[in-house]
């Protein structure tokens, strides 16, 4: 065996083959897609958690407003302040749209009814996906004995009311309800 032959073989073994490089690249891309999927799911869960916290803040403020008034509160007088929001994509709608205006009226009414105890509720104008929250007011809708809960809702990532990604919470009537 001569010396040239030994050095020639060592030079050939220093690099990677094209197949080896492709395998490494495909493994890295597979792992990164798994990580990105997990990150996207975590972000979505965080948005739902934020929406839930904001809805709880609204419910607590509405209960405080009920206690301040000493009675059940008909928040907007419309029985359905979110009806104008239904059946369409309400993500990032303009602030002059009736859906947005009615939600802002709900927030303002609740905030004003707390005699200054709640001051930042009107900053909760949109859910984490850019849609206004919706309030379906059920109390007293079918008469004075109607004590069904009101429902606050976020339409979720798709921006459309009544789909599987909606999240809602109930505002139960106070103990003043017969």
The domains found in the chain, sorted by start residue, are 45-171 (3.30.700)
DSSP character for 172? -
Q: Phi/psi class of residue 40: alpha, beta or left (left: φ > 0; alpha: ψ in -120 to 50)?
A: alpha
Task: Say what the pLDDT of residue 71 is.
Answer: 58
Nearest to 165 by CA among 125, 135, 126, 129: 129
In the predicted model, is pLDDT for residue 7 greater than 70?
A: no
| Sequence-separated (6 or more) residues with CB below 8 Å from residue 101 | 95
Task: Say what the pLDDT of residue 66 is.
Answer: 78
Q: Over range 147-169, report the average pLDDT.
A: 90
CA distance 28 to 90: 39
| Residue 2 or residue 164, greater confidence | 164
Burial label for 15, CB within 10 Å (0-12, 13-18, 19+), is: exposed
Nearest to 166 by CA among 177, 149, 174, 154: 154
Which tens digit of pLDDT belongs to each residue from 61-117?
888 887 777 655 566 666 677 888 999 999 999 999 999 999 998 888 888 888 888
Confidence of residue 177 (pLDDT cuts 50, 70, 90): low
Find the radius of gyration of the CA atoms of the chain. Answer: 28
CA distance 64 to 8: 85
Range with the poorest average pLDDT among 23-27, 86-90, 92-96, 174-178? 174-178
3-state class of 169 per DSSP? strand
State the average pLDDT for the chain: 83
Q: Over range 50-65, report the average pLDDT.
A: 90
Q: Over range 116-141, report the average pLDDT.
A: 86
Range with the poorest average pLDDT among 124-128, 139-143, 144-148? 139-143
In the predicted model, is pLDDT for residue 173 greater than 80?
A: no
Residues of the chain with pLDDT > 70: what percent?
79
């Amino acid at each position: 065996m001569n010396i040239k032959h030994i050095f020639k073989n060592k030079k050939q073994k220093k690099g990677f083959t094209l197949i080896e490089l492709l395998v490494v690249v495909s493994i890295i891309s597979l792992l990164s897609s798994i990580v990105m999927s997990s990150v996207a799911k975590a972000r979505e869960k965080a948005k739902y958690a934020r929406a839930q916290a904001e809805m709880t803040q609204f419910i607590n403020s509405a209960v405080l407003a009920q206690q301040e008034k000493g009675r059940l509160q008909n928040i907007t007088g419309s029985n359905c302040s979110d009806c104008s929001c239904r059946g369409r994509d309400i993500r990032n709608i303009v602030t002059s749209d009736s859906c947005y205006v009615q939600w802002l009226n709900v927030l303002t009414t609740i905030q004003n009814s707390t005699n200054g105890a709640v001051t930042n509720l009107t900053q909760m104008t949109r859910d984490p996906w850019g849609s206004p929250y919706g309030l379906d007011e059920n109390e007293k809708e079918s008469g004075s004995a109607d004590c069904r809960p009101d429902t606050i809702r976020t339409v979720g990532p798709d921006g459309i009311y009544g789909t599987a990604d909606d999240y809602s919470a109930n505002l139960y009537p106070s103990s003043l309800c017969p």
